[in-house]
Amino acid sequence: MTSTISSFPTIEEIRARADSTEVPALLMTVAHVTGDVSVLRDEWRPDPALLPASGLAPEVAGAARAYCLDRLEAALAEDRPVPVEPPAGVLTAIGRWSLGETADGIADLIEAAFVPDGTDPRAPHWTLEEIAPGRTFDVAIVGSGISGLLSALRMKQAGIPFTIYEKSHEVGGTWSENTYPDCRTDVHSHIYTYSFHPHDWPSYFCRQSVILDYLRGFAEKNGLLEHIRFGTAVASATWDESSHTWAVTTVDDAQCETTTSYSALISAVGQLNRPSIPAIEGLEKFAGPAFHSAEWDHSVDLTGKRVAVIGTGASALQFAPAVAKIAEQVTIVQRSAPWLMPTPELRRDIDADERWLLACLPLYRAYYRLSIFLPRVIGQLSAVTVDPDYPPTERAVSAENEQLRQMLTDYLLQQAGDRSDLAEAIVPDYPPGSKRIVRDDGTWVRTLKRDNVRLVTGGVTRADETGIWTSDGEHVEADVILFGTGFKASEYLMPMRITGRDGRDLHELWGIDAAAYMGITIPGFPNLFCAYGPNTNLVVHGNLVFFLECQAAYVTDAIRMLLEGGHRSMDLRADVFERYQDGIAEESALRAWGWSKTHSWYHNAEGRSTVMWPLPAQRYLHGTAAAQPELYDIA
């Protein structure tokens, strides 16, 4: 039976707040309510690069809103049921209207991306008791961040016993650990969320505390907290061939060691959970506090201090402006300049009328989310793809990459103004997409222009009791050293020791080149599943939470496959793994981050990327749609 929407607010309530609607999402909502896709007129077609905004002139946008409200009023006056799911053809028409030819061939991606409030299309439609009554099967989950909590919910929905091991005393993972000033997501809040668990976000890009509250609320609402063993780290896991189980050894805060057997093991420790601090000679001699952004020491008062900030990555671009407002002097040491993506709404709150519409107008939030998601899940992959005939250089890897470079360069130079010294320092010398493009609302360059801020290019060679020495031989006196130097993203599943079949140590097997099929499974390690595993990070296309939902759905289906067939274990075939990994390596080499010699946390010690997903997001959706038994040795 098709579910319907029980009630709408009055048309008067909607009209009173109509000026706060985004026209594309409003038109999509009306197309759904009326079933009439002719409302998606060409003259109201949005600029995909501006979505969720339309880019329409104010008078044109006003006419579109008025038309929508009239159509909505007429439809609601008929008092006929409005289906939660869109009428046939509506999503296809929306994709083509909003994205143009880019929407061709991605109907399944569009369908997967649209999740109306109150629905959870990827929830398992089976339970352990239904498909394998009397079967004992329990799961250990390592980590209670965004991927760990999602994995736990799927297990609970399937009626599978599970335990979450969390080394800290709080859920949230990186959103619990990173508490530096102005820490916030650089992904739109409405798509940095579980698709089936929406939230009344107060800002377009919310702060750490708001995201942490969201994850806490998710865990509480779904009864996950009672399954978490806080203050308990997983030290090792060893596969037992005779019992087809994982022996998981944990250590709690009191250093008590316990070993428990589980039918399956899900590693949800993520990638950005181990701070990377450069090996600086003499750092131990420094007399003042020195700490990484992910280990912020809030007992240190930076007011009136001389502060050295090492690194200009995404975290530093958030905390350094806040530090500059209170410190006496801030010296920022930049190894390589970041590309900045203009994002005027980065620090803006969402006004009350818009929040009301998102919360109270049925379907509007789902289409608002879709209008953000679609252009970004496609993203700019083509713009960072190497064209061998261009030819590629460390300036740009293709003509399209050069166009992107010019747009981003213009943005930087406009802000630098007459500061020629600054202009020379802030324009990167590598192709866009080789490193993370950081969102910016003008705050960064304004900070660099402050009288108490100085940008130093190069590196840090050593430290002494009173400060740091730069690669130019300058001594910078500092009271505090702050590291914005990223994470050891390539060191997956560390520091756990994972021992698979025939006593194989996973980290010895990997060396520095971590790899997993779809970032999830590894040959020789049966019933081990990774969430946010190798080559599943995203920078210019896709959406991380969407990928996490794909991974959780795949793992859940894999467990269903085992239970339904009366099997005990599944082990990825080596030939499948090798073909997959060869393809990933080949495609990665054709992206800016794989071609350019510039170094970032995308790369391991040898300069290879085991972090980034190099293919269209649709390929990931297809690859994780269902667990395929022919890819595994099943026992």
Show me where the domains of the chain are located.
2-121+364-378, 134-274+489-634, 283-346+389-483
Measured in whole angstroms, the distance separating CA 185 from the mean position of its chain's CA atoms is: 9
Q: What is the pLDDT of residue 610?
A: 86
Asked whether the predicted pLDDT for residue 603 surpasses 90, the reply is no
Structure confidence by residue, pLDDT tens digits, 77-106: 998 999 999 999 999 999 999 999 888 889
Structure confidence by residue, pLDDT tens digits, 49-63: 999 999 999 999 999
Residues 529-546, mean pLDDT to the nearest whole number: 93
pLDDT band for position 490 (cuts 50, 70, 90): low
Measured in whole angstroms, the distance separating CA 481 from the mean position of its chain's CA atoms is: 28
Average per-residue pLDDT for the chain: 95
User: Rounded CA gap, 509 and 527, in Å?
Assistant: 17
HSE-CB at 163 with a 13 A cutoff on CA atoms is 17
Residues 132-156, mean pLDDT to the nearest whole number: 97
- Cβ atoms of residues 447 and 317 within 8 Å: no
Residues 207-216, mean pLDDT to the nearest whole number: 98
Residue 607: CB atoms within 10 Å: 12
Edge-first strand listing for the sheet containing 329-334? 290-292, 480-483, 306-310, 329-334, 453-457
Q: Which of 101-105, 209-213, 376-380, 487-491 has the lowest mean pLDDT?
A: 487-491
Measured in whole angstroms, the distance separating CA 271 from the mean position of its chain's CA atoms is: 11
Asked whether the predicted pLDDT for residue 154 surpasses 70, the reply is yes
Q: What residue type is assigned to position 501 of the chain?
A: R
DSSP class of residue 542 equals S
- Fold classified for 283-346+389-483: FAD/NAD(P)-binding domain (3.50.50)
Q: What is the pLDDT of residue 277?
A: 87
Asked whether the predicted pLDDT for residue 588 surpasses 70, the reply is yes
- Cβ atoms of residues 266 and 151 within 8 Å: yes
Q: Based on the number of CB atoms within 10 Å of its own CB, is 182 exposed (0-12), middle (13-18) or buried (19 or more)? A: middle
pLDDT band for position 512 (cuts 50, 70, 90): confident
Q: Is 191 helix (H, G, I), strand (E, B) or coil?
A: coil
- Fold classified for 134-274+489-634: FAD/NAD(P)-binding domain (3.50.50)
Q: pTM higher than 0.75, yes or no?
A: yes
Rounded to a whole number, what is the largest CA-CA distance in the chain? 77
Q: Is 285 helix (H, G, I), strand (E, B) or coil?
A: helix
Tell me which residue of 485, 180, 487 sits closest to 323, measured CA to CA.
Answer: 180
Q: What is the pLDDT of residue 272?
A: 67
- Cβ atoms of residues 291 and 315 within 8 Å: no
102-126 burial by CB neighbour count: b if 16+ within 10 A, else e? Answer: ebeebeebbbbbbbbbeeeebebeb
DSSP class of residue 44 equals G
Percent of the chain with pLDDT over 90: 91
Q: Identical fold at 134-274+489-634 and 283-346+389-483?
A: yes
The bridge status of strand 480-483 relative to strand 306-310 is parallel
For residue 224 the two structure tokens come to 């996950």
- 352-360 vs 364-378: helix crossing angle, rounded to 10: 100
Q: Is 581 helix (H, G, I), strand (E, B) or coil?
A: helix
pLDDT band for position 270 (cuts 50, 70, 90): confident
Instruction: Report DSSP letters for 117-166, one per residue.
Output: TT--TTS-S--HHHHSTT----EEEE--SHHHHHHHHHHHHTT--EEEEE
Asked whether the predicted pLDDT for residue 168 surpasses 60, the reply is yes
Q: Based on the number of CB atoms within 10 Å of its own CB, is 81 exposed (0-12), middle (13-18) or buried (19 or more)? A: exposed
Q: What is the pLDDT of residue 519?
A: 97
Q: What share of the chain is helix, strand, coil (3-state, %, to 5)?
A: 40, 15, 45
Q: Which residues face 164 on adjacent strands?
A: 141, 228
Q: What is the pLDDT of residue 601?
A: 65
E-only strand ranges, 212-356: 228-230, 232-240, 245-252, 257-262, 264-267, 290-292, 306-310, 329-334, 340-342
User: Which residue would you say has higher pLDDT here, 26 or 604?
Assistant: 26
User: Rounded CA gap, 376 and 341, in Å?
Assistant: 13
Q: What is the pLDDT of residue 24?
A: 98
User: Which residue would you say has higher pLDDT here, 257 or 486?
Assistant: 257
Q: What is the pLDDT of residue 414?
A: 97
